[in-house]
Amino acid sequence: MLKWMSGFADPNGPLIYKGVYHLFYQYNPKGAQWGNIVWAHSISTDLVNWTPLDPAIFPSQPSDINGCWSGSTTILHGNKPAILYTGINKLNHQVQNLAYPKNVSDPFLREWIKSPENPVMEPTTENKINSSSFRDPTTGWLGKDGKWRVLIGSKRRTTGIAILYKSKDFVNWDKSKHPLHSAKGTGMWECPDFFPVLKNGINGVDTSLNDNSVRHVLKVSLDDHKHDYYLIGSYEEEKDRFVPDKGFEEVEIEYVFRYDYGKYYASKTFFDYEKNRRVLLGWANESSSVDDDIKKGWSGIHAIPRAIWLHKSGKQLVQWPVVEIEKLRVNHVNWPTKLLRGDELLQINGVTASQADVEISFEVNENDIGEAEVLEKWTDPQILCSQKGTSVKSGLGPFGLLAFASKGLQEFTSVFFRIFKFQNKNLVLFCSDQSRSSLNKHNDLTSYGTFLDVDVLHEKLSLRTLIDHSVVESFGGEGKACITARVYPTLAINDKAFIYAFNNGTTDIKITSLSAWSMKKAQLNGKL
């Protein structure tokens, strides 16, 4: 997990250039709260170890004098990077600005020059755009007509909008007559992202690709909900419209997939053309109070970068930590098959519990599936995780992991599965229970959860959890669902933390495999 001093938020403009990964991000160099925002800049050769450079963009023009907000990078013709970002001008209007590297031969892209044409897009009475709801340009893509296209997040009353702009030269932009997509009742669309994914295969593809081999993903960060939601569909280039697949036509929030069901927002993807993958980065905000943030001197992290692709069903995306994170693994612990009996707690010894990577798979016996609790009516899974937390027994579950567990279990963060019978089908609930994660009651102790699309009698019910001092990042069903939790225990700290596999149900569950590793520290202040 990437962590710096002071206030730290949205990932902006990630890219790979001349073999170097670049991550820009919203950053307050003067404190652990929002304000004084610049585009901080860090580089890496492996997406794990990072070196901070001087800020790439900071207020200096009339078009950004009151703030340099989120945006994206695009690789233009001739392998030339360009940044589009939102600036707040002297009228406090949100406008879009352009910047280029001062020296394209520098693989570290240390210095950026702002275009004298800024702002290159702005709200006017003619284009009927709300000047306080016009932000966060996407990576650009090329249409078959040779024009660049980008999206800007916006809203009109309660309708969320992805405004489409076109340009021949990436400087002079024209607003399209129609948005790429919109949805009533969803509020402001922040940090939109739009990219193709292969119908078959896990490789990523260039952002401009649009043919029969791909589907398209439209992701938006909903300001009213503070979560990232995505739609899968087709991009009709002739009409410049995004058409969601069946089941995604109406954006009813409770039925739309999220990248992450915990603390994860303002995410951004990029195409890593050197490794043919699409990489996702996201911001995980705090569970601690503002006063505690000020005391510790920093706020906000970025989650581990994730590879992202379309599941073979075509119905949802899959996410998995980038393979480079495995370079930090040491002290491998491997369990043989074990029967985890009802009310059993097994300590995972041999790894550093405050900084670990744990992969575990469970098997449900067909003869025991009848023990599953009957769910009488559909319930919001997050509410269900709160109502039926770690201590609430049922026939099948809860079973999973206890992370950051203190001696005596006064504190723990639980990540678990619980199986229901709903409308004659087996339904898997995937939860991250923070209700007992800290004795500090000023922390956010919300529990998170979702239903997991796994056939428990024919598929592996797997869980991978990355643990790192104040974060528990979990991947259920081989990456079909992700939950990121921020926790600040008061007792389960460093060598006073423990990890357990547990089963608090009445029915025995088989552990078919368990591998765990201690994790070395990533270098976050490396030297060039």
Strand 413-422 vs strand 373-374: parallel, antiparallel, or unpaired? Answer: parallel
CA neighbor of 338 nearest in space, from 476, 156, 145, 510:
510
Tell me how far apart the alpha carbons of residues 57 and 299 are, in angstroms, rounded to a whole number: 21
End-to-end CA distance of the chain: 20
Residue 10 annotated among the catalytic residues of the structure: yes
- Helix (H) / strand (E) element for 387: namely helix 381-387
- CA-wise closest residue to 464 among 400, 385, 382, 386: 400
Where are the extended beta strands (E) located within 33-183? 38-44, 51-57, 68-76, 80-88, 94-101, 112-114, 134-135, 141-142, 148-156, 159-167, 173-175, 181-183
Of 10, 136, 193, 433, catalytic: 10
354 close to 501: Cβ distance less than 8 angstroms:
no
Cα–Cα distances in angstroms (integers) from residue 315 to residues 197, 255, 517, in the given order? 12, 13, 32
Q: How far apart are the C-alpha atoms of 333 and 398, rounded to whole Å?
A: 24
Query: Vertex 95, ends 132 and 169: CA angle to 5°?
Result: 145
Cα distances from 296 to residues 32, 33, 82, 448, 485, in angstroms, run 9, 12, 36, 25, 19
Question: With contact defined as beta carbons under 8 Å apart, do 283 and 10 qualify?
Answer: yes
Tell me phi and psi for residue 265, to 5 degrees. -155, 165
How far from 518 is each of 100, 174, 224, 401, CA to CA, in Å?
41, 52, 38, 16
What pairs with residue 232 in β-bridges? 217
Residue showing tokens 């709200």: 123
Q: How far apart are CA 372 and CA 505, in angstroms?
A: 10
Q: Give dist(CA 29, CA 6) in Å, integer.
A: 6
3-state secondary structure of 139: coil
Q: Is the peptide bond before 398 cis (omega within 30 degrees of 0)?
A: yes
What is the Cα 247 distance to its own chain's centre? 23
* Four-residue CA torsion sign, 454, 455, 460, 463: positive
CA dihedral 161, 114, 47, 351 (to 10 degrees): -80
Q: What amino acid occupies position 418? A: R
* 217 within 8 A of 234, measured Cβ to Cβ: no
What lies within 8 Å, CB to CB, of 246 at 6+ separation is none
Q: Are 390 and 405 in contact (CB under 8 A)?
A: no
Hey, which residues are catalytic here? 10
